Structure 1
Amino acid sequence: MHALALLAASVTVMGAVMAMTRRVAVHAVLYLVVTLLALATVLVMLGASFAAMLEIIIYAGAIMVLFVFVIMMINLGQPDSAREKEWLRPRAWCGPGVLATIMCAELLYCLNPPSGPAPAPITAHDVGLSLFGRYVLMVELVSFLLLAGLVSAFHIGRNRVGGR
């Protein structure tokens, strides 16, 4: 199990580095999704399968859709056909595809281990008590931070396109 944890951690770090170094924003979003999937795998290994599913549904699903929406909304002035050709190159999908396949296989293995004691599961009640108990202020502050990031990205993108 330690080897699987190291594999998940290395994929997380590799995906995060690749997300920060990509020039095309959509490619960075692909690597960010792989990073979030790897973090969910680490959460499953820690026995927090409910938190891992929330990680996948909320962050890898909803937040990434928001990022793609912002990328489309900003529209940095490239013609649509040229931008889509750059996004759809097979070489751009190979790295995230390989890392995501590794993480999906590891996640499936961790959800159904062949033997060994299962850690105590974290229930929805536990997560609800944490999020809306002592951490309610932090949850609300994160939502304002995401809103501020969206508004800032729109403002920066609008000024860049207007200046060209």
Structure 2
Amino acid sequence: MELTFYIAGAVAILSTIMVITRYNMIHALLYLVVSFLAVAVVFFTLGAPFMAALEIIIYAGAIVVLIIFVIMMLNLSEESIRNEKEWMKPSIWIGPALLSAVLLAELVYIFTAMEVPASATIPVDAKLVGLALYGPYILGVQLCGMLLMAGIVGAYHLGRQKRKVTHRFLERRSAA
């Protein structure tokens, strides 16, 4: 179990470095998903399967979809549509696929080879997590929601302003 923790940690560090060093947003997003999955495996090996599931559902699912919507909103040109066809080449997705295969192999190893005693983990009910989040931590949850909403509104505003400037430029050019 300790080896799987270190391997998942190494995959998380490597994929996070790849997120930082990629120039293309979609490439970085693929590595970000792998990083989230690696952190979920780390949580699982530490005995927190509910937190691992939340990591996958919230971060690897919802947050990544939100980032994709922002990318789609900001890339409105014909050139970006042509570039999307290049994103599906094997040279782009082979790195994240290999790192994900390592994580999958770790999970298969954990589920098949390890025997965990029944008293090793204490199950946490989703109701208890909800009561904790919306009890003493309600202010933090509300602030996170407001921060995400501000990011969405800001991205929409930036995308909308880009279109207005483009239309004004085209109007001036056609009038001249």
In the superposition, the TM-score normalised over structure 1's length comes to 0.87
Distance (Å, rounded) in 1 between the aligned partners of 2:63 and 2:123 = 25
The residue that corresponds to 1:18 in the other structure is 18
Aligned partner of 2:57: which letter? I
Letter in 1 for 2:131: L
Q: Which structure would you say has the larger Rg?
A: 2
Q: Corresponding residue for 1:125?
A: 127
User: Which letter maps to 1:30?
Assistant: L
Q: Percent identity?
A: 46
In 2 relative to 1, CA 146–112 (structure 1 residues): closer, same or farther, beyond 3 Å? Answer: farther
Name 2:36's counterpart in structure 1: 36
Equivalences for 1:1-164 in 2 at 5 Å?
1-75=1-75, 77-117=77-117, 118-159=120-161, 162=165
How many corresponding residue pairs? 164
Distance 1:104 1:122, change over 3 A: farther
Change (3 A) 1:81 1:75: closer
| CA distance in 2 between partners of 1:102 and 1:93 (Å) | 14
Q: Distance in 2 between matches of 1:7 and 1:100?
A: 12
Higher relative contact order (CA 8 A, sep 6+): 1
Checking the alignment, whether the CA contact within 8 Å between 1:44 and 1:107 is kept in structure 2 is no
| Counterparts in 2 of 1:47 and 1:123: CA distance versus 1, 3 Å | farther
1:83-104, Cα deviation, whole Å (9 max, x unpaired): 2122112111011111111112
- Structure 2: unaligned runs, 5 residues or longer: 170-176
| TM-aligned CA deviation for residue 119 of structure 1 | 2.3
